[in-house]
Chains A and B, each alone.
Chain A
Amino acid sequence: MELFNIFIKAAFVENLVLAYFLGMCSFLAVSKTVKTAFGLGLAVIFVLGITMPINWLINEYLLSETGPLGFDFSFLRFILFIAVIASMVQLVEMVIEKVSPSLYNSLGIFLPLITVNCAILGGSLFMVAREYNFSESVAFGLGGGFGWFLAIIAIAAIREKIRYSDVPPALRGLGMAFILTGLMGIAFMSLLGIDPAAFQ
């Protein structure tokens, strides 16, 4: 149940966007319609879910002093992590292009931007900082991705509706998106009250 706990915590309480601001750029840029937000959200879950375990293995067996190489290569951590992420994103890009060209067109330039989506690298760095084990890091990756997915869908739905509201011109679009994100963050904070022990 420890794993379920980590999943819930990563998805709601420690939501990567709303509590840590990770992945804000694509979160704001691709949340104009629910359809594209849905696609990007799925891609993030997928990339996070894959890269976390791979990066865990790399960190544990290649970089750490206790691994088979017996050398402290921690200074290569950033480079290797980002390389894994970049190649995984390329893979997702190819898959989406094959499966759904329309989704591919609408995601446009933002798909490569998943590479520089801080949520992905941030997940891996959190994993190292918190010393998760293999299964914990998988749970954290999936939970974090799911939380990100929920957040972007929610903001996209709100932004679709808010177009019919009378927002001051200077605040339209980006400005309003920031304020909405802030309000959503407050809403998600109420989830801090969840006692993970209740799920056990």
Chain B
Amino acid sequence: MESTNYVVGFTLAMTVIVALTLSSLFYGTKDQVAQNADVFNKRAILSAISAKLDKPVSDFSDQDVLSLFEEKVEQKVLSMDGEELDGIMAEKVDMAKEAKKPEEDRQLPLFIYNGGGEKVYIVSVRGSGLWDAIWGNVALQSDFTTVVGASFDHAGETPGLGAEIKDNPAFAKQFGGKKIYNDGEYVSVGVIKGGAKNLAYEVDGLSGATVTADGVDEMLFRGIKYYEPYFGKAKG
């Protein structure tokens, strides 16, 4: 058996070496990692308006994404009453944290894409899928009725089933051109198991992933409705 001193000494030496290695690596990579995360989120937002961009989002370099955001995207944060809040960027709003707050206290991020021509309003929604959280961005035309496009992501849906909301471009593509109002009544975009019937405001669900598709449906209905007070004001 080794002496206690040796054990303590060994432990201390090991702790120091490990801590130094890891902390220097951590601080060396920190900025780049933060930028990667930033680009990752911004790509997701941009893929909701891929119809308005001249090339697929995956073809943009990281730098392109950042500068496009810098130049053409206006960021706003709204209260639940549709008031604009000052002093905060939409990209700083953590949807996961907002979802834990009581509904009336939440902050809503809004990204406005101004790429020449009509403005596009991108709203963020969050809900739950089969296993874990799902979230997405929905882009609306300035009539606040017609959907330009949508993008979705998830924390842990089954690859090949629920994860198709992100992995299968055909799913998100269905959203382009849908209307979230039917005869003036708010309907959101329905995700319908077994196939859409009212093509104006419904899309097909995912075969084998009913719970996830229902989650998307619920998330869209509730999430877009949060922005209604703002839509009313913006329309004047």
Residues of A within 8 A of B (CB): 14, 75-76, 79, 129-131, 192
Query: Given A75-B25, A79-B22, list of 4 further CB < 8 A pairs?
Result: A14-B131, A75-B23, A75-B26, A79-B18
B19 within 8 A of A: yes
A129 touching B211 by the CB < 8 A rule?
no
Q: Is the interface of A mostly helix, strand, loop or mixed?
A: helix
Interface contact A75-B130, CB-CB below 8 Å: no
Q: Complex formed: what's the CA distance from A129 to B96 in Å?
A: 11
A129 near B25: Cβ-Cβ < 8 Å: no
If over half of B's interface residues share one DSSP class (helix, strand or loop), that class is named, otherwise mixed; here it is helix
Also in contact, A76 and B22, with CB within 8 A (given A129-B155, A131-B96, A192-B211): yes
State the CA gap A14–B96 with chains docked (Å).
Answer: 21
User: CA–CA, A50 to B18, complex, Å?
Assistant: 26
Task: Name the residue on B nearest A131 (C-beta).
Answer: B96
Bound complex: CA of A75 vs CA of B100, how far in Å?
Answer: 26
Q: What is the CB-to-nearest-CB distance from A193 to chain B, in angstroms, rounded to a whole number?
A: 10
- Closest Cβ of chain B to A131, distance in Å, is 6
Minimum CB–CB distance for B215 against chain A, Å: 13
A-side contacts of B19, CB under 8 Å: 76
Give the interface size bracket for B toward A.
Answer: 10 to 19
B211, A75: Cβ atoms closer than 8 Å: no
Rounded to whole Å, the gap between the CB of A170 and the closest CB of chain B is 30
Interface string of B82-101 (1 = CB under 8 A from A): 00000000000000100010
Contacts of A131 in B (CB 8 A): 96, 100
CB distance from B158 to the nearest CB of A (A): 9
Taking CB atoms, residues of chain A closer than 8 Å to B18 are: 79
Q: How far is the CA of A119 from the CA of B155 in the complex (A)?
A: 19
A64 to chain B, nearest CB (A): 13
Mark out the residues of chain B between 192 and 236 whose CB falls within 8 Å of any chain A CB in the assembled complex.
211
A-side contacts of B133, CB under 8 Å: 130
Q: How far is the CB of B87 from chain A (nearest CB, A)?
A: 20
Query: Which residues of A are found within 8 Å of B23, using beta-carbon distances?
Result: 75
How far, in whole Å, are A76 and B18 apart by their CA atoms in the complex?
A: 9
- Minimal beta-carbon separation of A86 from chain B (angstroms): 13
Residue of A nearest to B23 (CB): A75
Measured between alpha carbons, how far is A130 from B155 in the docked complex, in Å?
9
Least CB separation from B22: chain A residue: A75
17 A-B pairs, CB-CB below 8 angstroms?
A14-B131, A75-B22, A75-B23, A75-B25, A75-B26, A76-B19, A76-B22, A79-B18, A79-B22, A129-B155, A130-B132, A130-B133, A130-B155, A131-B96, A131-B100, A192-B130, A192-B211
CB-defined contacts of A14 to chain B, threshold 8 Å: 131
B60-71 CB contact bits vs A (8 Å, 1 = yes)? 000000000000
Please, which residues of chain A bring their CB within 8 A of the CB of B26?
75
Interface of chain B residues 16 through 55 with chain A (CB within 8 A): 18-19, 22-23, 25-26
Residues of B within 8 A of A76 (CB): 19, 22
Distance in angstroms between the alpha carbons of A76 and B22 in the assembled complex:
8
Alpha-carbon distance A15/B22, docked complex (angstroms): 33
Residues in A whose Cβ lies below 8 Å from that of B132 = 130
Q: How far is the CB of B37 from chain A (nearest CB, A)?
A: 13
Contacts of B131 in A (CB 8 A): 14
Bitwise, B72-116 to A at CB < 8 A (1) or not (0) is: 000000000000000000000000100010000000000000000
- B153 → chain A closest CB, angstroms: 14
Shortest beta-carbon distance, A134 to chain B, in Å?
Answer: 14
Within B117-164, the residues touching A (CB, 8 Å) are 130-133, 155
Task: For residue A128, give the distance in angstroms from its CB to the closest CB of chain B.
Answer: 12
